A and B are shown apart, each in its own frame.
Chain A
């Protein structure tokens, strides 16, 4: 399937060659000329060397998802060429360093090569300027400009802005590399390339990755304490919170392990600070016991699990949605919990705020699922998004003995109709109380009496029903009367939505039912949406159809088709559309 008015640039090389910052430059240039962008990365679990790629999709309409094609490849090493040779589209362009790639590459497409080849001595240009290869990437981006038919003015402005803080010499060297990279291509290669999209009317947007969206949302929600142990791909969230900790009065504590991280978080939350911990599945596995502690002590707790390919160490730097069932049932015994799975940057920003509110309102653990794909992809976040849409709601708090009303002694676990007991914080004037992991009576004292046990369990579990007032139905994208409904949850949202646009070109009407509130389901509001579906396909980044199983369990609903992917990569709209076209119509 062909992309209209858009293209994908891939920059491939070894880790440490600066491909991420090249991606940023290109994104900035595109944004500056009014184009939309989406950046995603693919890299192995190592720091130097290895094969790394950053993809920049550029379009004149909003785009929220990767596509599986390369129009322009900048290959910074010979290996990159071999790996991506077949992915470059017909009449695409390969840019490479002549001195590094020894392979014979034709200027024009031929039998063995479907694309144009543009060889420029990026490294030699840089060495000519300051005896090092540090400006090779600048020369390469300039060559890309020639190939795209883009003017250099915007790039020059961005280089100036970015490096002026360091020194004028660095700006001048960059500009020199930029000019030479462009001129070499101009002198040695005909302008055989059609001018690409070089301006647009994009609505103003921020280009931020999922980890930033989550961290910014957490800051907005008033997170004051976070503790974590490093684990890919969750760590960037912690890093962002640490970076802004002084400005926003946050303590970010790196813990000795994930058990400590979640326990510190429970302690801080019990004290009354909004607190967050995060990890990927492996670290979450270690956190599990404390999840139940938050459950029985009714301590608000927000945990982010940024999923990656499992089981065990699995695919540390690849994406997957395979922890859903795990987080849903993690920890011994039964207690209420909430599981959310945002589908894009705006949902990440908003649902982390909702997570804190739900945790406080109902005094329970909330698990927010994201994944490597969302965590590391740089997405469009529209500038007109209302950043203050979600108000802080801390639920019922008691601040002193005066507020106890008729009660002489404060009962932390007072039996109430809705299961929510007014919460006091330690240090509240005149109030002392007990909380604990043992089953307890209303006063928090250890109690194994069977009647009390049943009453206390029922009180806690009642919260799962009470909270339904705060749980919306899944959102439907597209028309109502359609041939097929695509069901997405979490990060598969936009691949599904874009697939429906591709299907429309083949006269197949499709819509998307997207779930981001995963548990508990608001069954009364959701069932009617499922009942009106004629035919459906569920799209999940896992091998066993974990969400499909939940639909069967809670709604007795079975999608006719399922599309499961667990090769470590996110879904591409075209692969979804192709499968639907080939197998269902």
Chain B
């Protein structure tokens, strides 16, 4: 199968059923753009979807897709990547799945530096279960489960990833697809764990963090004096969002020096799916003391 010539060749028999205007469309387009620009062979790419509106994206491209469990897309992607390192493995999931149900996997994947890209559709709300408060909802956010307003301070995904030793941490905006396309490309190319935290408006349930809200607040750090090579500076930069006023988008941090999980494994063991398993000899195991 040849690399895609244009986006129209991406259509599958089923098409997205997101709400009209959903921020997921922008992420969908950016991801497909990125894959196309990288000229990756379709059969060598696997999208692992979490559960929720975002995760369904895995069914809606004609790259390989695996729809997983809520919160569990990351460990599935890790096993997949470890077993066949020839594949480009990308996780698509939301703030509920990746930072609520599956937060432990997110943190451990960061420090494991497993070579996957995680596309975090961060809309600060549980969309598919009709608008409940999520781990990144703003303080005071009102929903059916928090009618009095959320008391919990929101998690900061980029800061979390940085403290957990992620080697690529970035942010994007679903309303700026040319920019997001470039960020996703960099994330896919990064040798190690890569996070793309994407500000994604939910047009149905989240009336606060809208396109307008973000359009006024995001700013691109790509062509500024900011250099993504210092972890402490990156942490400071990532904390700007906590004011609710400034949302830096671009690559916040990248460390190319740390070996990825794959680098460590390939010195020891041949690619797992390429090994022949017929006629393995085990007699010597029995004869050890």
Contact = CB atoms under 8 A, between A and B. Distances in A.
- Decide whether A and B are members of one complex: yes
Interface string A236-247: 000000001110
**Interface hub of A212, A225, A428, A434 (most chain B Cβ within 10 A):** A434
Interface in B274-289: 275, 277-280, 282-283, 285-287
Interface string B224-241: 000000000000000000
A206 interface: yes
User: Number of contact residues on B: which range applies?
Assistant: 35 or more
Contact of B265 (A248, A251, A392): A251
**Interface hub of A293, A437, A443 (most chain B Cβ within 10 A):** A437
A249 B76 contact: no
A224 B283 CA distance: 18
Interface string A414-456: 0000000000011111111111111000011110000000000
A263 interface: yes
Contact of B277 (A257, A261, A392, A438): A392
B286 A425 contact: no
Interface stretch (B22-30, B62-70, B145-153, B212-220): B62-70
B32 interface: no
B277 A267 contact: no
Contact of A263 (B46, B75, B270, B287): B75
**Interface hub of B49, B82, B107 (most chain A Cβ within 10 A):** B82
Given A216-B282, A437-B51, A260 B269 contact: no
Contacts of A297: 66
A273 B66 CA distance: 16
A189 B68 CA distance: 71
A381 interface: yes
A219 interface: yes
B43 A428 contact: yes
Nearest to B80: A267
Nearest to A161: B289
Interface in B1-55: 1, 12-14, 42-44, 46, 48-49, 51
Contacts of B279: 388
B83 A271 contact: yes
A275 B58 contact: no
Given A224-B272, A246-B268, A264-B76, A256 B285 contact: no
Contact of B49 (A216, A221, A263, A436): A436
Given A260-B104, A433-B64, A446-B59, A267 B79 contact: yes
A220 B280 CA distance: 6
A222 interface: yes
Contacts of B59: 434, 436, 438, 444-446
B275 A270 contact: no
A246 B273 CA distance: 15
Contacts of A387: 282-283, 286
**Interface hub of A227, A245, A260 (most chain B Cβ within 10 A):** A260
Contacts of A216: 282, 285-286
User: Number of contact residues on A: which range applies?
Assistant: 35 or more
Contacts of A257: 104
B105 interface: yes
A225 B278 CA distance: 16
A7 B43 CA distance: 63
A11 to B, nearest CB: 19
Given A263-B72, A264-B82, A272 B280 contact: no
Given A267-B76, A272-B83, A430-B43, A436 B65 contact: yes
Contact of B65 (A251, A261, A429, A435): A435
A91 interface: no
B108 interface: yes
Contacts of A222: 275, 277-278, 280
A274 interface: yes
B224 to A, nearest CB: 36
Contacts of B51: 437
B155 interface: no
A434 B66 CA distance: 6
Contacts of A227: 79
Contact of B84 (A271, A274, A293): A271
Contacts of A388: 279
A259 interface: yes
A159 to B, nearest CB: 13
Contacts of B64: 426, 432-434
B68 A434 contact: no
A435 B73 CA distance: 13
Given A222-B280, A256-B105, A264 B49 contact: no
Interface string B257-274: 000000001001110110
A250 interface: yes
B47 to A, nearest CB: 9
A434 B65 contact: yes
Contacts of B72: 259-260, 263, 289-290, 293
B79 A263 contact: yes
Contacts of B287: 206
Nearest to B278: A392
Contact of A427 (B14, B44, B280, B286): B44
Contacts of A289: 69, 72
Interface of A: 206, 208, 212, 216, 219-222, 224-225, 227, 244-246, 248-251, 253, 255-257, 259-261, 263-275, 289-290, 293, 297, 381, 383, 387-388, 391-392, 401, 425-438, 443-446
27 contacts: A219-B285, A222-B278, A224-B272, A225-B79, A225-B83, A227-B79, A244-B285, A248-B280, A249-B270, A251-B83, A256-B104, A256-B105, A259-B72, A259-B75, A260-B104, A263-B72, A263-B105, A270-B76, A271-B87, A427-B84, A433-B65, A434-B12, A434-B67, A435-B66, A436-B49, A437-B67, A446-B14
Given A250-B269, A260-B78, A268-B83, 20 more contacts: A219-B282, A245-B268, A263-B72, A263-B76, A263-B105, A266-B79, A267-B48, A267-B76, A267-B77, A269-B83, A270-B80, A271-B272, A293-B69, A425-B273, A426-B80, A431-B1, A434-B65, A435-B67, A446-B59, A446-B67
